[in-house]
Structure 1
């Protein structure tokens, strides 16, 4: 691996003691926007659930399952965005957590298997101009040949990398974890798109009742559950203040 430059690790620009990495859909939001589109605008709930089980239990690449989900959605992309802005809600504890992070020099880095235009549109709707302070690393969207993304069936997902995940979140995290004297690194997630990130940070917050908890227990990955960002906020603040270590916070299923 080549040397890591500041442009590779923008979250280090303010010399933080702690960095908070997070999934977006179903973690920062109360409902997964990609699941919502698949269930309501694409091939439906039953096929989506089967796809998730194939990834979690049978080793199918997430990239392949997610490609099928997104390909089943034919609605023009601008109409998808409008639908999501009217439907998807912000986690009730996230705004207070975001404000605390801004005040305490804790960078938030969104690592998402979703699509950059969706994430940016929703964050800007909820946080306004402050949303620019959140780094987003994710997949993107591209037009199909001969079409605009705002044509019927005109858009497709453009994956972030060539991995089996489509977006291997561990790649971004390792840019930081490989450095000497790095900050404490935390991660929050809920589902199959977070499998590549689950083992990479000092503490994993896994959403209670979701697939990531199942995976962590199967693979013996230390974690602590959360219901929403209210419980994450409390734990992160204690770690930041030196009252709790990341290792001691990994208590498993405590927020069920």
Structure 2
């Protein structure tokens, strides 16, 4: 019998922005940033890209859960003697923002549109990189719904999952579905690139495991966001877009946030509807 009970969160959620007309939600790694920070740590500080890819294949084959395999990847960084503070500094030096994200963020702030990051990574690490890139004050204002970290006195560390009972560590749909349940829900924009630790769909409160070309898709957002933006990366696999086409999920492809911003502006200003925006196809 399929368990339809949402996983219990060990971490609090921020209050819903029930009084807002629009809410912008986005994946972090590879969407707002130029590369996946956890992959970068594993490849350069941990056991390397070959073992990481092997772990990904094990997840795809159903031999490992994302939660367990991801922890093994991160634990390899700690096992190599890299402290939490060192990891933060390495990522602050090597991870950069999408070229248009700051413009997008400034626009949202000017229009009183909350920006919420929903990630399978660790919130303190995301906040540290954001502080380096956009400043401490602005970084503190952006809400981050992600996993946490436990840092020990000796500097070693371990991921603390938001949903430890879930095979994915963090079920992203639990940050999006409450907006759909509001009496007057805001229009939700979601930005994703397809690499995420969640392939559970809670549509109609039934958990369904989907067969996907890759195991890490932002499919909860694909199912539940009003206006879905899927990032296209030249020379990379664009699996979320392929998934959406296969499942008949309307979406807009974008290369960077500057291109997405123009379409978002038109929706926010009332020049086009969400339906018309989705018909554009590519920003």
Q: Which TM-score bucket, shorter chain as reference?
A: 0.7 to 0.9
Q: Does 1:48 align with 2:48?
A: no
1:1-256 paired onto structure 2 within 5 Å: 10-12=15-17, 15-53=19-57, 55=59, 61-74=65-78, 75-128=82-135, 129-143=137-151, 147-148=152-153, 150=155, 154-161=156-163, 162-193=165-196, 194-209=218-233, 210-251=238-279, 254=282
Unaligned runs of 5+ in 1: 2-6
Q: Deviations over 1:39-68 (max 9, x none)?
A: 111122233334445556769632233222
Distance 1:102 1:118 in 2: 23
Distance 2:69 2:278 in 1: 30
Distance 1:57 1:240 in 2: 42
Shift of 1:201: 0.8
Aligned length: 243
Unaligned runs of 5+ in 2: 6-11, 197-217
Distance 1:149 1:232 in 2: 44
Distance 1:251 1:53 in 2: 35
Q: Tell whether the 8 Å contact from 1:19 to 1:106 is kept in structure 2 after alignment.
A: yes
Shift of 1:123: 1.3
Q: Tell whether the 8 Å contact from 1:94 to 1:229 is kept in structure 2 after alignment.
A: yes
Q: Deviations over 1:170-199 (max 9, x none)?
A: 101111111111110111111231233321
For the structure 1 residues 177 and 21, does the alpha-carbon distance in structure 2 shift closer, same or farther, using more than 3 Å as the test?
same
RMSD of equivalent CA atoms: 2.4
Q: Tell whether the 8 Å contact from 2:14 to 2:143 is kept in structure 1 after alignment.
A: no
Distance 1:187 1:33 in 2: 20
Distance 1:200 1:61 in 2: 23
* Divergent runs of 4+, >4 A: 53-60
- Normalised by the length of structure 1, the TM-score is 0.85
Q: Deviations over 1:192-233 (max 9, x none)?
A: 312333211111111114332233234332221111111121
Shift of 1:125: 1.6
